[in-house]
A and B are shown apart, each in its own frame.
Chain A
Amino acid sequence: MSEQIREQVSAFLDGELPGSETELLLKRLTRDPELRQSFGRYALIGETLRGASNASLSLTFAARVNRAIDGEPAAPLQPAARTRPLRWWKPIAGTAVAAGVAAVAVVALQQRAVAPGLPVAPRVTVQNARLITVPKEALSYTVPAAPAAPAMVAPARLTSYVFAHSKYAEGLGQGNLLSTLLSEDADGAPAAPVASRDAQTAP
């Protein structure tokens, strides 16, 4: 990504890129898959750096992202936030590997894999007060242990499920699911396989 494009992307993500330049950036991104990929990584790092609160950081977003990409320390960041980009690059790599695997018709999936940053409670116990329990069931539930063997899911079949589900999805969920159906993955199927937890959380 050239310096000029990087500045444009920074300004865009800061909400400050003029409309005419936004149009140009949009055209470039639509035409250029590699640029889109870079843009995606850039935005991802940016969001990680932003953290939950934009207001608490004194540097502009663009400056923080530039420093992160250039490997410079971003002084105002809290220590925990500073380490995040490294953790986020790993999941990207893991997903790319998984996308390659998806080129076959059936995708091997490891159970209990998680999205990047998605915490998984190893054992979840729910108290009885909030459970909807169909007659005479136990009033607590523990997520069963995952089988050791990889599971098999045919990604094409997911299209039907997502399609049927989408009309009942509320709010944001619906739009995101439908966008998923519009997206193209390596195998042409809408659902991306989940990379293994090991791949995503490796240091």
Chain B
Amino acid sequence: MHPILGRADRLAAYLAAWAAVCAFVAGIFTRLGLTWTEALVLLVPLFLIYAFVCLSAWYVSRATPLTTTSSLRVLASSILASAFASGLWLALTNAWIALLSMTTAFAPSADRYGQQLPFVFAVGVLLFMLALAGHYVLLAVETAREAERRQLELELLTRDAELRALRAQIDPHFLFNSLNSISALTGSDAPGARRMCLLLGEFLRTTLDVSARQRIPLADELALAERYLNIEQVRFGSRLQIQRRVDEEASSCLVPPLLLQPLVENAVTHGIARVLEGGLIRLDVSRHDGRLAIVVENPCETDAAVQRPGGLGLDNVRRRLDAMFGRDARVDTRVAAGQFHVELSLPASVRTE
């Protein structure tokens, strides 16, 4: 689509610019002895037509874009195109002069103008080159806008995919097992069943709520993990013990949502659930020298037969931290003495958005 022809406001501005140039040239001719009427009758049709001829500069600018064409080729094509356009204009001028010469009123002025043909040609070349320069600018603007639009679209897509991935993270295994716990409690402990329903409802709602946000206070993330652990506590009973240590000043830090929760979930599903006698999950959150450290430790299966702990949740956390902080964030894991240890280290930010 032509950037000027395609839009009425741009076409109006373009023609207004041409009208100004035309008026300026007419002014010069009045100094040379022509009346305004003679000058305008002579020039307006020619300039009007040439204004449209110069719109073809768009195709020249598109065919030889500045970014991918050598400057020599750009120069050659500009000169050739403007000489050609101006030659066309010269032919038109000649025809118009011939036509005007047949009238009695304009014949003298037409003859005078006929003596200025080299000047007409030079002006034609100059105007076409100006138009070409203008089109190059327009092209650059359009390209930049297009790039910006694409970037925005990409960001939107990424965020959308991320959101969907986050939602998918609510482990179906966890959901069905929780429902089964509720079903079991209904018979023997109705208030317990209700408590479990409320916990599960709160957990699901909070998960959906925080995953729609960019950054959340660590306190919210801790509360989410707490709800998760409360539910799993009902399932695992005494097999699941929890020890927490949270720095007061750390809990006000802003973190990406669902950063801690997957680690806690791993500690349960890959740790506690796979160890016969269960054990202790240790959660330690601290803030030192502008950095936030989150440590989760849990007992893990030492049998050679069981694959390394961690899983998809940890991969996801690693990728997201990498996308957000690059080298500024670290995820370290190690297994020692039957304990799985994961530590996140990231810049502590408290800025409110």
Q: Do the two chains bind?
A: no
Interface residues of chain A, those whose CB is within 8 Å of chain B, are none
